[in-house]
Structure 1
Amino acid sequence: MTRAATKLLISQPALSRQISDLETELGVKLFNRKTRHLTLTPDGQYLLGQAQKILGLTAKTKNDLQSTSFVSGDLTIAAGESSGMQPVMNVISSIIKDHPTVKIHLLSGDYHYTTQKLNSGDADFAIIIGDVPLNNYASLTLPQKDDWGVLMRPDDPLAQKSTIRPQDLVCRSVLNSQQAQTLQIFQNWLGNYSSCVNFIGTYNLYFNGTMMVKNHAALMFALDNLADTSQESGLVFKHLTPALGQSVKVAWKQEVSLSPVAELFIKRLKDTLFTSRSA
């Protein structure tokens, strides 16, 4: 106790009184007092651990506030459903890990939905699937590409084929992606067979479309790696021949100043893309 008082630059009686006052305030005994020897009680050990955590958090908070590396705020991303989103999710995960006060908001939709959210200011970034014009936006192209294919039941005759050709879909009922329908993605691929395919409608949410397939209602144009095609799923995915791929891009408004967290997102995404392309 005497050595502690000396280190704290106060008298030993004053330190003893402060400890006694603290025990009274907390309603617990902090020390086992023996002749010329003090040991912490279980309550004292708990208080010590919590105090160390609090002091550590205080020091970190002070350092963060005095450092340009401190980032906080909300990051909103409007995105289509795509396995090409993985690099984006990796960057977001790293930001949350390094800056726990950042909040992430993910909005799902097609090209028109995501660009609408971007233009209205409801989203900081839009993940665009497909070769669509982005003249009014700044953008980055992700390294992954999505390939189109057909989703079907395992008992469908086409499930025995290695790939699906345009003529395989003649007289078949097909559910199309709403974005693909709007952009007429399959018109050139189908060629002369386009008028022979029975497009029964469109889907916006991938999962809801798969339920139509499971009900024998239709085949479904879909991007690879999105559906569960395990043996228990009741679904089979077949790629197209000739192959039909879609690029994945991250877009944002050029004339708008980005928030610190949005700037960090772009920096880390660029670093990730540069590293992957250099490897």
Structure 2
Amino acid sequence: MELRVLNYFVATAQELNMTKAAQKLLVSQPALSRQIADLEDELGVKLFNRQPRHLTLTPSGQYLLEQAKEILALTAKTKSNLQSSAVISGDLTIAAGESVGMQRLMNIVSNIIQDYPTVKIHILSGDYEFAEKKLNIGTVDFAAIIGNVNLSNYASIQLPERDVWGVLMTKNDPLAKKKAITPADLVGRTVLNSQQADTMHYFDNWLGNYKDDVNFIGTVNLSFNGTLLVKNNAAVMLTLDKIANTSSESGLTFRPISPALSEPITVIWKHETNLSPVAELFLNRLQASIANN
């Protein structure tokens, strides 16, 4: 598969209209149709369901779209870093979850932008599985991982900060009168859980005998949308401190859980990887930041 043809395919998949895609790509519609047909022949699969006025992706087409985006992003990142290897420039890409530790990383990134204006920054938000996948396929330089997970396959630096677990609720919730939330306090309550914590059964031991008496209605992989349910009094949410907006205008408040639980925050990157100059700069400044903490 040529990169040019992958670009053609992605544009067509985004427009779902051959004429519009051809206009976007500045090629003729017959030429584009021929390239897509040749790609289907090469792969031996049907990528589009063709209808009179529009297209739809087949399951194979949807899979190729996801992979093609990753390939093209990695190609663009590699090209940018190669072209800027003589100076501190190019792209710095970090995949991370929501965490108090991100403030340290963003302070370093802010200083790099100020010192080297041609550097481009890309922050991709997601949970542990998302961040690890992006790192493994090479589309990010670093991943910030929250939690006690096996990171032995990566080079890593643990941040001094730790994320503290607690419960997010409205300020008029009866639980808001408490200084800390115990498992017994959640009995009979409707609760949203972190997707990562749910997958790892993180709160099973903490809840103990109360586990079956808590009504877990679902999970969120990032907190913002969950806060909207909390604001509607549809649920309280197990989440990390300093992530949700708990200002006086928000109507929300956070209480730590008791017994207390906290999570380490670790920045990881691939072993034996030749980092770009800007990635090396970020790593050096991160190490200095921790040493001076």
**TM-score (normalised: structure 2):** 0.69
Which amino acid in structure 2 is aligned with residue 145 of structure 1? R
* 1:70/1:99 contact within 8 Å kept: no
Alpha-carbon displacement from aligned partner over 1:236-276 (angstroms, at most 9, x marks no partner): 11111111101111000103211111111111100110111
Name the SS for the 1:252 alignment partner. strand
Q: Which of the numbers 100, 103, 106 marks the counterpart of 2:117?
A: 100
1:71 equivalent in alignment to 2:88: yes
Q: Secondary structure at the match of 1:91?
A: helix
Q: Is the aligned partner of 1:228 residue 2:245?
A: yes
Gaps of 5+ in 1: 1-67
Ranges in structure 2 where 5+ consecutive residues have no aligned partner = 1-84
Is 1:83 matched up with 2:121? no
For residues 123-179 of structure 1, give each alpha carbon's deviation from its aligned partner in whole angstroms, at most 9, with x where no partner exists: 110000111110100100001111010001122111111110011111111000111
> Letter of the aligned partner of 2:257 in structure 1?
L
Match of 2:6 in 1: none
SS at match of 1:141: strand
Other-structure match for 1:201: 218
User: Which of the numbers 146, 151, 161 marks the counterpart of 2:178?
Assistant: 161
Judge conservation of contact 1:78–1:123 (CA < 8 Å) in 2: yes
> What are the within-5 Å matches in structure 2 for residues 141-152 of structure 1?
141-152=158-169
Equivalent position of 2:189 in the other structure? 172
Alignment match of 2:204 (pick from 187, 212, 215): 187
User: What letter corresponds to residue 184 of structure 2 in structure 1?
Assistant: Q
Residues 82 and 226 in structure 1, CA contact (< 8 A), matched pair in contact too? yes
For 1:239, which of 256, 279, 284 is the aligned residue?
A: 256
Residue matched to 2:280: 263
Provide the rounded CA distance (Å) in 1 between the counterparts of 2:283 and 2:86.
15
In the TM superposition, residue 84 of structure 1 has moved relative to its aligned partner by: 1.1
Cα deviation, 1:186-238, whole Å, max 9, x if unaligned, reads: 11111111111111000122110000011111110011111111222111111
Structure 1: which 4+ aligned runs deviate by more than 3 Å?
A: none
RMSD: 1.3
Distance in 1, matches of 2:160 and 2:187, equals 34
Residue 265 of structure 2 aligns to a residue in which SS?
A: strand
1:6-25 equivalent positions in 2, closer than 5 A: none
Give the number of aligned pairs.
209
Displacement of 1:69: 8.8
- The equivalent residue for 2:126 is 109
In 1, are the aligned partners of 2:94 and 2:143 still within 8 Å (CA)?
yes
- With structure 1 as the length reference, what TM-score do the two structures score? 0.73
SS at match of 2:230: helix
2:249 is paired with a residue whose SS is: coil
Structure ID, larger Rg: 1
Q: Contact conserved, 2:165 with 2:238, CA < 8 A, in 1? A: yes
